[in-house]
Amino acid sequence: MPTRQNSSSGKPKSPRIQVVLPEDLCLRLTALAEDESRTVSNMAKVLIQQGVQRYEQGGDRQEAAPVADANQSSTEQLRNALESKQTGRLRGAPRRVRLYRPN
């Protein structure tokens, strides 16, 4: 079962899972992440999403959903989640910024 932690502000974080990978699979995952300019964790998340979608759509079929579709759906989900949040007030008055002119 995924563990759920709380942030320092008390809000729950997204569920976390811990996975042990063989060395060669970890190297392949790292190479894929570097090719797409992602973190290894984010690349693993995208590949897990694709695998779950493929499994739910019929399991043994060899048709793979393109990476862009998975990214777009997770991007849209993130955007919707951020847009649904209420904005909070800033804490304290804005700080005054002083700019110094060189002599």
pTM of the predicted protein model: 0.49
Give the pLDDT of residue 26.
Answer: 92
C-alpha–C-alpha distance, residues 34 and 52, integer Å: 23
Three-state DSSP at 60 gives coil
* Residue range 61-93, pLDDT digits in tens: 555 555 555 556 777 777 778 777 777 776 777
